Amino acid sequence: MIKEKIDYFKERLRKNSMDQIQTYQPLLFSIAYRMTGYASQAEDIVQDAYLRYQQADRAAVQSPKAYLTTIVTNLSLNYLKSAHAQREEYIGVWLPEPILTALPEGESLEEAYEQQETISLAFLVLLEALTPPERAVFLLHEVFDYSFAEIAEIIEKTPENCRQLFHRAKSHVAEKRHRVSVESANQRQLTESFVAACKSGDLATLTKLLASDVTTWADGGGKVRASLYPISGQELVAKRFISAMHRVPADNVLFIEEINGAPAILSWSDGHLNWVQTLDIRDNVIVGLHTLLNPDKLAFLQRQLESRPEPFLSSSHVLP
């Protein structure tokens, strides 16, 4: 009887401890996703971190948050090192795996835009040019506000070395980083206008919606037909999207969602997500378009859409 009570309280303590560390899940997933560029891989890394935490000597773990962050960061670093060759052999343009995002409750508009920018497809692609250690230090310090001393313990380098890695990474990112304007409140309207102009074939209107140096990227991964290189230029991009929109099958439903912190157009038919197109909007014009067609990279997003309590193909989302 006594042994049963002891076992019962041990199990209660274990469950309470796991419930407590589950509160770190959003942080851990955010780190792993920004590090790897894959939502599905980030999920696996976080689960692996939880398993390692359960098997660890709890008496030696002073801070569960620091312990889990260290595991997630280093698992992400290991993944990036092993994935380097795969990225180089990837067919065509490589884009990160898209995820469904929304404005977190209690977060200010300025904070939301900062987080949206650092999860955008354009920003994640920009991080690809960094070495894995540079990427880890830059994200932990710039996005998640860890001190260099804390980062040094996580990746087992000196604080001075972490500062050097950060400044190198920041210098590279700053050259091509374009911050989102908080005043851009008409993103959905501009997205709807873009689709309408493409559908109607209104080249003049569509051209006005695009920046003069607009660029489009498409990721088919060798599994779906897509351009192997980025395409730039106002008129060229406009004509390309008018042509592409006219080839969309009649049974495809187009709807708008917020993907990676930006308005996106999604195509759905016969129970499947066909493609996702995010719009990079700045100063009320579209400066970039990222189209995800690789079915392997759409599976996570489809699960997100289908798991929501409200129907995602409601009239408020579907485009005419």
pLDDT per residue over 30-41, tens digit each?
999 999 999 999
Is 267 in contact with 254 (CB distance < 8 Å)? yes
pLDDT value at residue 5? 45
Instruction: From residue 8, give the alpha-carbon distance in Å to each of 12, 14, 21, 51, 108.
Output: 6, 10, 20, 21, 43
Q: Where are the domains of the chain?
A: 2-176, 187-307
Determine the pLDDT at residue 2. Answer: 54
Instruction: Give CA–CA dist 45/87, Å, rounded.
Output: 19
The three-class DSSP label of residue 26 is helix
Question: Which amino acid is it at 194?
Answer: F
Segment 84-111 shows an average pLDDT of 75
Q: What does the alpha-carbon distance between residue 229 and residue 182 come to, in Å, rounded to a whole number?
A: 31
pLDDT of the residue at 12: 47
CATH topology of domain 187-307: Nuclear Transport Factor 2; Chain: A, (3.10.450)
- Kindly report the backbone phi and psi dihedral angles of residue 226, in degrees, each rounded to the nearest multiple of 5, phi listed first: -160, 155
Cβ(210)–Cβ(238) under 8 Å? yes
Q: How far is CA 61 from CA 11, 55, 68, 243, in A?
A: 19, 11, 10, 58
Least confident interval from 9-23, 73-87, 192-206: 9-23
Query: pLDDT tens for residues 115-159?
Result: 667 888 999 999 999 999 999 999 999 999 999 999 999 999 999
Question: Regarding the domain with residue range 2-176, which homologous superfamily does it belong to in the CATH classification?
Answer: PhyR, sigma-like (SL) domain (1.20.140.160)
How much is the pLDDT for 76? 97
